[in-house]
Amino acid sequence: MIIKLKPDITSEDRNRLVHIIQESGADYSDQDAINQSEIYINEAYTGINIGLFYHMPGVESIIEGEPIYNLVSRNYKKSDTIIQLDDLYIGGDNYPVMIAGPCAVENEDQIRETAQLVSSLGVRIMRGGAYKPRTSPYSFTGLEERGLELLGKVKKETGLFIITEVLDTADVEVVAAYSDILQIGSRNMQNYKLLKAVGRIRKPVLLKRGMSARLDEFLGSAEYIMKGGNEQVILCERGIRTFVEYSRNTLDLNVVPVVKNLSHLPIIVDPSHGTGRRDLIMPMSLAALAAGADGLMVEVHPHPDNSWSDPEQALSPEQFSLLMEKFTHFLEWLNKNVSVTTAP
């Protein structure tokens, strides 16, 4: 339940209200809401008489029922959340970030070659799965800890930041030890135990939208992470299942401006999984930037046709290099503050 307060509520009226809530034993929060104009009462409350509040002085309105999310909402925090990795900032007015790398870490040569390629093109964050969620158990499911070690090795060599997926609560610690951002994949967006586990760490988490998830469910999952105390959440639109047959998924770019309105969290777009087609990655990348995305995550492989997973959507080095060129030019054209980063 949310109690919306009138902007001119007196401190006496406000204190009386808070006193009643405290007396009832309800778990509530009224900090950080914009202008302190709302009091959020947690679902765990018992025995509170909602009727009491309707006619109390200073109360503007009451939203009954349990909102799915609160901490992730713009109502709760007005300013954009900015994720910091040393001198790199994600979100707010910062230059949109490009995250690139293979679907999976396959071997040392492959990951080093990719790291050198993306780094030479100005990319600061490399992706690469060590634990791979695959539809078939007979497919390559990742090098696991060995994959993390290889990511750690090329991170040292190149200075790239690393993002990699964590599939299981048991692996959160080891994945966090080797990476700068932990990825929660689409299939795990509603794995609440895993969300709680990454809520307990203090490293950025990139949360991918479930392939059949509504927006409120997506934000509800982000709420789980934030409720655990981890405020460093990046949302990622990666396409949803629709009736179309010509692409792997339908990239829901509507969600970008809608999320910007509803939430203070940064949102990036993954056109690789969103389309599943190399030829669609360039146009949909630019469309995502035009929609206001805080960055992109793209799959690139030194030899895409030999990729052990998702070969049909892996960009070649030449294609990726062209994408980087267009990325920069398009942002200049959109008039983003191209070389300036803003501290939080």
Helix (H) or strand (E) holding 256: helix 255-262
Encode 47-81: b = buried (16+ Cβ within 10 Å), e = exposed.
ebeeeebeeeebbeebeeeebbbbbbbbbbbeebb
With respect to ligand PEP, which residue has the nearer C-beta, 124 or 208? Answer: 208
Q: How far is the CB of 166 from Mn ion (least distance, A)?
A: 15
* Residue 14 structure tokens: 């406000």
Residue ranges that bind ligand PEP, judged by CB under 6 A: 103, 129, 133, 165, 185-187, 208, 238, 273
Matching residue, tokens 């509504």:
214
Amino acid identity, residue 326?
Answer: K
Residue with CB nearest ligand PEP? 185
Beta carbon nearer to ligand PEP, 101 or 220: 101
Which residue has its beta carbon closest to Mn ion? 103
Among 3, 33, 82, 103, contact with Mn ion (rule: CB under 5 A): 103
Instruction: Report the residue number, 14 or 238, with the smaller CB distance to ligand PEP.
Output: 238
Rounded to a whole number of angstroms, the minimum distance from the CB of residue 93 to ligand PEP is: 26
Shortest distance, position 88 Cβ to ligand PEP, whole Å = 20
Pick the closer one to Mn ion by CB: 103 or 182: 103
Which among 149, 146, 103, 106 is positioned nearest to 127, based on CA atoms?
103
CB of 102 to Mn ion, least distance (A): 8
47-56 long-range Cβ contacts below 8 angstroms, 24+ apart: 48/21, 48/24, 50/1, 52/20, 53/3, 53/17, 53/20, 56/13, 56/16, 56/17
- Cβ closest to ligand PEP, residue 14 vs residue 301: 301
Q: CA 81, CA 72: separation in Å to the nearest integer?
A: 10
Residue with tokens 């993002």: 163
> Mask: binding to Mn ion, 296-315, rule CB under 5 A, as x and -?
--------------x-----
| Nearest distance from C-beta of residue 251 to ligand PEP, angstroms | 11
